[in-house]
Chains A and B, each alone.
Chain A
Amino acid sequence: MNNIQHIGLTDINGPLIALEGVKGAAFDEIAKIRLEDGSERIGRVVELEGDKVMLQVFEGTRGISLKNTRTTFTGKPLEIPLSTEILGRIFSGAGKPIDGLGEVFPEKMGNINGRALNPVARQYPRNYIHTGISSIDALMTLIRGQKLPIFSGSGLSHNKLAVQIARQAKITGEENADFAIVFAAMGVQNDVADYFRRSFEDTGAIERVCMFLNLSNDPIIERLLTPMCALTAAEYLAFEKNMHILVIMTDMTSYAEALREFSSSKGEIPGRKGYPGYLYSNLASIYERAGIIEGSMGSVTQIPILTMPNDDITHPIPDLTAYITEGQIVFDRELDQMGIYPGVSVLLSLSRLMKDGIGEGFTRADHSAVSNQLFASYAKVQEARSLASVIGEEELSKTDRAYMAFGELFERHFLNQGFNENRTIDETLDLGWDLLCTLPRSELDRIDEKLLDEQYNEQRGEKFKL
């Protein structure tokens, strides 16, 4: 808009700077801050009061003094260049290319803030994505257009699982569907980002991947932009280029912590555990950017990954996330220690959209019966186990002992699978039936008699016995 340079600042506090005497600055617009050494930083207007403007500096305020800056306002919100060329490229958290391949020639510029999708224009997600992982396909089915986070803890194999999903994910029904991955790393270590990049390269998928990297030593304000840039790219590819996009975002905990840091330096009143009161709305503005638009061929599916601080699922970050997302996949440290991969805690995990995306025409007619029964029976395993820990395994009734055995077989054979093992939905559901057949028929109370007549056969369970 104007080329007026504002010299100097009145206040610097953490990532925030303030300057006075500004006219016509707009809320949320981007300003360029030029330092004496010629380097340029980007700031965003976060508060306006009279002629005083508060800016958030993405690259941090190191080296900035009250005198050495020249600030110009661009009159625009933050935009990133978009074109199909972004696939195969690597960007910083703020959307700048960092792979040395030069600038992207934009087909259009995209405002990273995005807008709320009108519920009327949404299409309810129904088609499932086959991941080849039994626990997910059978029990917490991933649906196209869903947001299904992975709740994990430090040191667990969530990254491995995310890579396996990205590699094996297959959209059923449309064999030539255009499929691509947008990967956003927030505050992760360099080797984690590298692990993802190598994995994509190994499988040749890298040409279909667009990466946004904000590593743990990168500025925190840039971290707040990373998911927004990634989702802007995803929405463009999905809704304008009709592609099916899987967005993997890791680690949302670092993102929320960056938000807390920003909020406290702005002097805002903290809510629970020091996180700002708007953490829910802020997370929602990210997660709600998944979905399908009526009349568009593409879709945005999100798999955000977060590490639960101290493995605590009631911590505000996993808690608020699960209130927004359509289910969750929760990792269990105990299973992981037993060597089960992926160590998914079945009872805590859930996919809210699976009910409409499974069964006849999607997966298989008996899917919902099998998954309900597996859930219910595995819940009984926990009861039997807690009883056994009090009275000893020998004292258990015959049924309870059958449950104990079922629980172990279920974990070893159903949950556990190889990193390169890609099970078909038939394999997964048949395996589920085989395991259920190790239980007495009268215990299968979630399945109707007709289906049991077809499928139940004690011999099917025999193969697990030594």
Chain B
Amino acid sequence: MNTIYSINGPVVKTACTKDFSMLEMVLVGDRRLIGEVIGISDELTTIQVYEETAGLKVGEPVIGTGAPVCANLGPGIISNIFDGIERPLRDMTKLTGAFVTEGSGLFSLDTEREFDVAMTVKVGDKLKGGDIYCTAPETPLITHKCMIPPDMSGEVVYTARNGKYKVNDIVLKLKLENGDIKELSLVQKWAIKKPRPIKKHLRATVPLITGQRVIDTIIPIAKGGTAAIPGGFGTGKTMTQHQLAKWCDADIIVYIGCGERGNEMTQVLEEFSELTDPKSGRPLTDRTVLIANTSNMPVAAREASIYTGITLAEYYRDMGYHIAIMADSTSRWAEALREISGRLEEMPAEEGFPAYLPSRLAEFYERAGYVETLNGKEGSVTIIGAVSPQGSDFSEPVTQNTKRFVRCFWALDKSLAYARHYPAIDWNSSYSEYAEELADYFNSVNPDFTELRHELSYILSEENKLMEIVKLIGADVLPDDQKLTIETARIVRVGFLQQNAYHKDDTYVPLEKQRLMMKVIVDLYKKALSAIRAGVPLSDIKALGLFDKAVKMKYDIPNDKLSMFDDYFKEIEEKIDALSIS
């Protein structure tokens, strides 16, 4: 029997090296703590333990499982909340009370729950990896599709009848090419660190609509894209992630609370069960999976939580769904890597982070994508990762390395947050490489969409230049047309970019309303500009109250009464024209 030789925090070593393989899952100690082999030398095997190691003794057994750390994939995942190694936290409270205890080795899915299974294949069918053999409604929004594991193929020799089954019931028997009979239930296992195979990557040309104006219009993200949200504490990373998780138009949200606050996860749990999805009217929990590894839970499981999350996402993608992953925060994950690396006494690179930090980040973000699945469906995984830079300094290693692997960068700015401008996404330093690829889509919604966006960006960048002057000599000395640019930019900032997450209409704004709002601002700007050129003083135009009205249109026009915009256009035209004539 293999036994523990040394213990240092979550890192445990055993003297035997022959029985274990890299990344194999092992059970450590008398309490069977879950661990993973992360290093093998000719003398010692190194294991990181996903649970609290206090009380573990030298000499206790270490048992190999012969398989890597796997996620259990099957119906019952959606609406659930798991810890970093996919243990169901709700069931855990029933078993061990309010505090998390170790060694409770629970199965991820509810083995007693029955699903209405409908078989989609018959005896004699030849199936290959990825093919769907049965479906079952999982929540009112999501139909679960059980697929042949990617590395398997064969001929169906038995199918169960349609009816109610539990996750571990055998519903299909497959005769493999070598003649073996393989029994399949509703569950399959997949190693969390191995990407699930696909047929091919497709170009990302469809945006993930978030209902957040600054994102959809200025810095959009594609379905299957990658984005990073870096920001110091208090700039609203979590708030932005929550908003995206609530309102983006993905089919399923995987929310990973990685090394963050416990109360935040509780808030997500509470809020998401009360809020309804704008498309279906169902509670948001019907399309959400939560993975909670709060900052005080064991650090090795924090490292695993990111992989568990993406594996669940890939599994649903393979059924043909569009998934958005919120990872809050990837910095805590990087710190978990650093902590484990330190305990292994590896040579550190920048700021104590291991040298393999960039490659781990790249591996993670590369698992995003808009793909054609093995069974010929289209699905996507979008990754939105929060980054918590140390000291709010974007030059630190995690932010810099993340920037290399994501194509959308939503930088949160401290000074905007201090002025309570939310979402505090800084339009000057943020960027999206998807803007061009998505232009066709936006223009198909309405041909002037891209043009309006360019106008807004132009006004903002002009303001940026003018503010340099204003800072030195004050705004009073500027000519009227430049004052108008500053005044219009204020409407863009306060009336358009700022969005109130607590307002019933403003929290989610449909694309068409975003476009009309842009149009009001641009119309107003153009009309006012030509009036000023015709000699009308800006103060007279301001006295019309149109600017104040434009700032408040986000609240004044409900999302379902977009026809009200017509009055705005009419009013702008009539009032300014009247001024020009007089």
Which residues does A use to contact B, with CB under 8 Å?
23-29, 47-51, 77, 113-125, 145-146, 239, 268-272, 276-278, 280-281, 284-285, 287-289, 291, 293-294, 296, 314-316, 319-320, 322-324, 326-328, 347-348, 350, 352-353, 355-356, 368, 372, 375-376, 379-380, 386-387, 390-391, 395-397, 400, 442, 445-446, 448
Contact = CB atoms under 8 A, between A and B. Distances in A.
Interface stretch (B51-59, B67-75, B143-151, B187-195): B51-59
Interface of B: 5-9, 13, 52-59, 81, 89-90, 92-93, 97-101, 233-234, 257, 259, 261-263, 265-267, 269-270, 292, 294-297, 299, 332, 335, 338-339, 341-342, 345, 348, 351-352, 388, 390-393, 418-420, 471-476, 494, 502, 548, 551, 555
A276 B339 CA distance: 9
Contacts, number: 211
15 contacts: A25-B57, A48-B58, A116-B99, A116-B262, A116-B297, A117-B296, A118-B100, A122-B265, A269-B342, A269-B352, A277-B335, A289-B296, A379-B420, A391-B474, A397-B476
Contact of A276 (B56, B266, B342, B418): B342
A288 B97 contact: no
A376 B97 contact: no
A368 B299 CA distance: 37
A128 B529 CA distance: 50
B263 A124 contact: yes
Nearest to B501: A355
Contact of B352 (A25, A48, A272, A380): A272
B551 A379 contact: no
A193 B364 CA distance: 49
Given A120-B89, A239-B98, 13 more contacts: A24-B57, A25-B57, A25-B58, A27-B7, A50-B6, A77-B54, A117-B262, A119-B265, A123-B266, A296-B98, A314-B390, A314-B392, A390-B471
Candidate in A123, A284, A387, A446 with the most chain B CB atoms within 10 angstroms: A284
Going nearest first, the 7 A-B pairs with the smallest beta carbon separation are: A284-B295, A314-B391, A28-B54, A121-B98, A49-B6, A115-B99, A119-B265
Contacts of A320: 390
A403 B122 CA distance: 77
Given A25-B58, A322-B234, A293 B89 contact: no
A350 B234 contact: yes
A125 B263 contact: yes
Contacts of B388: 323
B262 A288 contact: yes
B414 to A, nearest CB: 9
A375 B419 contact: yes
Interface of B (DSSP majority class):
mixed
Contact of B99 (A117, A294, A328, A347): A117
B57 A118 contact: no
A19 to B, nearest CB: 13
A396 B476 CA distance: 9
Contacts of B98: 117-118, 121, 239, 293-294, 296
B304 to A, nearest CB: 15
A285 B473 CA distance: 51
Contacts of B352: 269-272, 277
Contact of A271 (B9, B81, B233, B351): B351
A322 B233 contact: yes
Give the residue among A122, A239, A326, A328 with the most B Cβ atoms within 10 A.
A122
B329 to A, nearest CB: 8
Nearest to A51: B58
Contacts of A327: 234
Contact of B420 (A120, A280, A376): A376
A445 B500 CA distance: 13
Contacts of B261: 288, 324, 326
B356 to A, nearest CB: 15
B259 A280 contact: yes
Contact of B55 (A28, A115, A145, A372): A28
A285 B294 CA distance: 10
Contacts of A270: 352
A121 B263 contact: no
A281 B266 contact: no
